Amino acid sequence: MKLRHLLALCGLLAAAALPAAAQEVTLKVHYHLPPTSFAGTLFIQPWCERIAKESANRMKCQIYPSMQLGGTPPQLFDQVRDGVADVVWTLPGYTAGRFASMEAFELPFMMRDPEATSRALWEYAQTHSQAEFKDVKPLAFHVHGPGVFHMAGKPVRTMADLRGLKLRAPTRLTNKFIAMLGATPVSMPVPQVGDALAKGVIDGAVVPYEVVPSVKLEELAKYHSETDPREAAFYTSTFIFAMNKAKYEALPADLKKVIDNNSGQAFSGQIGKAFVQADAQGKQLTAKNATNVIPASELVAWKKLGDKLSADWVKDMNAKGLNGSRMLEDARSLIAKQQAARP
């Protein structure tokens, strides 16, 4: 009898332990672009497929593109912090001034290579951005490819061509730089760009080529003006791929390991590399339109304005009690280090 009771007790204990060991988790993944966007097809969906495979399908994604969980793009960070979503992809710059440290990478003429710069951004964030992102579990920080002028009525060849035009820009610093170049900046998230162009609310938008299919820019913009590819990009934006902290901490150790193996500096670089591929595919869609390159000789004057904006930003950060000079120096040196490490 005692043996039978002992065996029964062991069976009960084993059964009780089974659900924890075989815990299944569904992650609600929320972002602002459509499912056909390059961000969705080249980065978010593949990430979800990897964590499902590496967890033996015990951890899966339920993906909500196009803000299907409600709210607006600037609210995505708060949604993952508060548990409305488990994972989000968003731009810190959508909430101007809230994530001041990230702005160092959004200054003009900082980025040459999205992969190297994304790796640098992850490293930089470990030193300068911990306080800003302490309420979430960052999975990656990255940037996109070079910004491009997508214009409805005329191309951009010189600074003078921008005077009097209304241009969409994504971040606080890009808005400032657009104004310094002579245009009127109009801040709006990417999903609003197509409607604004179609209605003539804006004359053009500065976005990378990867955005083209998401808002049908190949149909709405007749001209695409790039800056000389031998120069650093005139702008880029920073992004965060983040997880709800409580959701992560509640995972069993083996599922945490799956998340950890699919986050961090290497993953950030992989996203940057995916955006290079996305730019190439997005540019193909604009082949029927007119494309021009703004030459390096023209960009000399632009760079002087960019240097002034950078100096003003350092003063602004110092006034907030941050070390603006150190932040900018670290951003530049980390980008250079990662660029030099590329094969």
Q: Which domains does the chain have, with CATH numbers?
A: 25-144+237-280 (3.40.190.170), 148-235+287-341 (3.40.190.170)
E strands in the chain: 25-30, 59-64, 87-90, 136-143, 148-151, 166-169, 184-187, 204-207, 223-227, 238-244, 290-294
Please give the pLDDT value at position 22: 66
Number of H-type helices and E-type strands within the chain: 14, 11
Q: In what order do the strands lie in the sheet with 59-64?
A: 59-64, 25-30, 87-90, 238-244, 136-143
Residue type, position 105, single letter:
F
| Cβ atoms of 302 and 159 closer than 8 Å | yes
Instruction: Flag whether pLDDT at 71 surpasses 60.
Output: yes
Instruction: Flag whether pLDDT at 16 surpasses 80.
Output: no
| Cβ atoms of 23 and 250 closer than 8 Å | no
Please give the pLDDT value at position 152: 97
Please give the pLDDT value at position 342: 84
Q: What does the block give as tokens for 202? A: 């804006």
Tens of pLDDT, residue by residue over 245-300, are 999 999 999 999 999 999 999 999 999 999 999 999 999 999 999 999 999 999 99
Note the maximum CA span of the chain: 95
Alpha-carbon span 269 to 259, nearest angstrom: 16
Instruction: Flag whether pLDDT at 320 surpasses 50.
Output: yes
Please give the pLDDT value at position 20: 45
Alpha-carbon span 101 to 316, nearest angstrom: 11
Tens of pLDDT, residue by residue over 208-243, are 999 999 999 999 999 999 999 999 999 999 999 999
- Using DSSP's 3-state secondary structure scheme, residue 56 falls into coil
